[in-house]
Structure 1
Amino acid sequence: MDSGAKPTVKKGKVDFWTKDEVKEFLSGVEHRRRIMFVLAIYTGMRRGEILGLRWRDIDLENGQIRISQILAFKGEIKDGTKTESGNRSISIPPVVIAELRKHRTRIIQEKWDAKESYYDLDLVVCRKNGQPVSWSNFHKFWIRQLSKTNVRPIRFHDLRHTCASLLLSAGIHPKIVQELLGHSSIKITLDIYSHMMPNIQADAVKILEKMLN
């Protein structure tokens, strides 16, 4: 990819990165908003859920995130999520806990530097003065990060699909993926991601064969 050209991101389709593409991307991102990408990839959280996430909704000791508010497209913070099932708790692994601890240290320093001019909304992802990150500015930031890392361009929302595809390809039950992503029913999960599970039927009949022979 030409580093001087803006990457073209395909719209209207489910796309996702492989595990190698994820590793390549994360290894090239050292920006203060890196935590956004870590959360999207490891938890499948929606952009509005990440932008609206507060520190009070994170239990670092027990590795849990509670999704209870979002930052809407027009910039207002709203209680609740896109759907009723979107209000959920998410388990996070040690690598995400470590990233959050590192990010919190940076936020505390920024709050100290800004002093009285800091607009404290308790947001995990925010501007240096504590104000929310706008959707439009974030999109520009995402495109810049894609250009810098040279990874195959996808939409930010496709990081959510990446999380799902990696879990399903590892044999995680679709019901678990449904609960993680906050889909209202497993039918939605299967409708979106069934094509990402081409080996499940083959594996199933092999298991049956092994049981009966």
Structure 2
Amino acid sequence: MAPRGPVGPVTPLPPRLQCLEQARRDPLYAAFVLAASMGLRRGEVLGLRWSDVDLEHRVLRVSKQVQRVGGVLYEDTTKSGRARPLPPPLICLAALRWHRMRQTDAARLRGVELSPSSHITTRTGRPIDPQNVNRSFFRITAAAGLRRIRLHDARHGCATLLTAAGVAPRVVMEILGHSRISITTDVYTHVTSDTQREAIGHMDRLLRRRLDRG
């Protein structure tokens, strides 16, 4: 077989994909995928149990969050105070299936079956300290060569992508679980302004090119 010729420079992955690619090696990979692709809050990610997920029908029910207050972990309702069913994207389904297999194998090694009440994104099914998630995320972003960002910034990035894709503010509000539409419209206005500046920049370049040609 003849050797392949040069394929040209490799296009670098966008920062978001660089981070997720690096996170594949981390036991909390499913947690990071949920935060980046669905905009879930850190506490909401940690509050998910297998009983909240229907992989076959592609439904994820966000109803709880795990927080640390006064040095103690506790479970509470979501920030908006209401549950929201969401259809997870395919990247989430793949990550969750992979993670469930890992948890199932770990449970069997302990001589038990994986319980539907197990928390889905943790290593063992037991709730973990939110700060541990932060430390893992900081380590991953550093390994990916990215600036230090919080997991909450992934939520904001999801909101930005949804808005830039033209998703209606009311739908973005439901996905992210904002308590008020004004929170969502603030993001919408910010993204719209950036999009307008980019569009005007294109127009400026096009007109200048025509003027240069006479």
Q: TM range, normalised to the smaller chain?
A: 0.7 to 0.9
CA distance in 2, matches of 1:119, 1:92: 21
AA paired with 2:78? T
**RMSD between superposed Cα atoms in Å:** 2.4
Which residues in structure 2 correspond to 1:40-189 (within 5 Å)?
A: 40-74=35-69, 75-85=72-82, 87-115=83-111, 121-128=117-124, 130-189=125-184
Q: CA–CA distance in 2 between the matches of 1:79 and 1:135?
A: 14
Alignment check: 8 A CA contact 1:48 1:73 kept: no
5+ residue gaps, structure 2: 1-12, 200-214
Match of 2:186 in 1: 191
Is the radius of gyration larger for structure 1 or structure 2? 2
**Does the CA-based 8 Å contact 2:160-2:187 persist in structure 1?**
no
Do 1:119 and 1:131's aligned partners in 2 also have CA atoms closer than 8 Å? Answer: no
Per-residue CA deviations over 1:111-137 (Å, capped at 9, x if unaligned) read 112336x99841102233x32110222
How far does residue 83 in structure 1 lie from its aligned partner after superposition? Answer: 1.8
Secondary structure of the 1:123 match is coil
Give 1:23's match in structure 2, choosing from 8, 11, 17. 17
3-state SS, counterpart of residue 73 of structure 1:
strand
Equivalent pair of 1:69/1:81 in contact (CA under 8 Å): yes
Distance 1:136 1:202 in 2: 37
TM score, norm. by length of structure 1: 0.77
Cα pair 1:44 1:181 within 8 Å, conserved: yes
TM-score (norm 2): 0.76
Q: Distance in 2 between matches of 1:124 and 1:145?
A: 20
Indicate conservation of the 8 Å contact 2:45/2:121, yes or no.
yes
Runs of 5+ unmatched residues, structure 1: 1-18, 204-213
- SS of the equivalent of 2:86 reads strand
Hey, what's the Cα distance between the residues in 2 that align with 1:153 and 1:168?
A: 24
Q: CA deviation at 1:73?
A: 2.1
Q: Is the 8 A contact 2:159 2:187 kept in 1?
A: no
Moved more, 97-106 or 190-199: 190-199
How many corresponding residue pairs? Answer: 182
Shift of 1:153: 2.4
